[in-house]
């Protein structure tokens, strides 16, 4: 069982391939692409933010970025003291009640959902969708990809492995549909060191407006 309070989980790049987590070039590029994708100032939440790398680089772009993670160690050892008050220790399985009355234009959830036990997935996805007004960006390995998930039975315990179609259906249940892939997502894929899959979801109202403009 993975211990998300274990410093080795976040700091040992050799064992868990976590060295890229503090790669400023990767996160700064990703932040710029997300900023460009939304095309206006926005309030954003990074779900499963770890030590806050993405939050920091979005904040550097003058965006109202916030983060949450289950790991007290990760949050309290953030190398970005200027954003420490924007990072919160939260167990997604218990909900995002901190933000009952305040929502976000966009939410990111990178390398998180595959670690959530299947019995908790629906609640976690519903909470992410509840606090998001416009767009959810997710990143994860897919069960139907040709490249096998190296951690499926390993230390990272990817316990929720589903096909792209199944993930899409889970978000559709809560009012978010897959946005057609555009140039921005191709660029995001290029800066990803692990070549996993990014999917953007828009709420149904936003998707209807997009289709009318085509």
Place of tokens 């953007």: 200
Q: What is the pLDDT of residue 103?
A: 85
Q: What is the mean pLDDT of residues 135-148?
A: 71
Higher pLDDT, 190 or 120: 120
- Domains of the chain, by residue range, sit at 7-213
How do beta strands 104-110 and 64-69 pair? unpaired
Most confident stretch, 16-30, 87-101, 170-184: 87-101
What are the angstrom distances between the C-alpha of 98 and each of 68, 75, 108, 132, 151? Answer: 10, 16, 17, 13, 32
- Choosing among 3.30.750.80, 3.40.50.970, 3.40.50.150, 3.40.50.300, the CATH entry for 7-213 is 3.40.50.150
Q: Does an H or E element contain 140, and which?
A: strand 132-140
Sorted by sequence, the CB contacts under 8 Å of residue 48 that are 6+ apart come out as: 68, 69, 70, 92, 109, 110, 111, 112
Share of the chain above pLDDT 90, in %: 31
Retrieve residue 205's tokens: 């109202």
- Place 153 in a pLDDT band, splitting at 50, 70 and 90: very low
Higher pLDDT, 93 or 99: 93
Higher pLDDT, 159 or 188: 159
Q: Are 64 and 42 in contact (CB under 8 A)?
A: yes
Higher pLDDT, 211 or 40: 40
């Amino acid at each position: 069982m993975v211990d998300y309070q274990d410093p080795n989980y976040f700091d040992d790049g050799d064992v868990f391939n976590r060295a890229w987590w503090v790669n400023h070039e990767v996160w700064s590029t990703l932040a710029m692409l997300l900023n460009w994708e939304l095309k206006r100032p926005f309030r954003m939440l990074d779900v499963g933010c770890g030590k806050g790398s993405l939050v920091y680089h979005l904040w550097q772009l003058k965006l109202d970025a916030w983060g949450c993670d289950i790991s007290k160690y990760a949050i309290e050892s953030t190398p970005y003291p200027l954003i420490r008050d924007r990072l919160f220790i939260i167990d997604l399985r218990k909900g995002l009640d901190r933000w009952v009355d305040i929502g976000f234009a966009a939410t990111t959830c990178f390398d998180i959902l595959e670690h959530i036990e299947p019995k908790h997935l629906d609640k976690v996805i519903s909470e992410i969708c509840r606090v998001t007004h416009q767009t959810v960006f997710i990143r994860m390995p897919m069960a139907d990809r040709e490249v096998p998930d190296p951690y499926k039975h390993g230390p990272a315990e990817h316990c929720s492995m589903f096909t792209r179609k199944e993930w899409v259906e889970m978000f559709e249940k809560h009012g978010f549909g897959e946005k057609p892939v555009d140039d921005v997502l191709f660029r995001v894929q290029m800066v990803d060191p692990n070549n996993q899959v990014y999917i953007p979801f828009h709420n149904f109202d936003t998707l209807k407006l997009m289709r009318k403009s085509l």
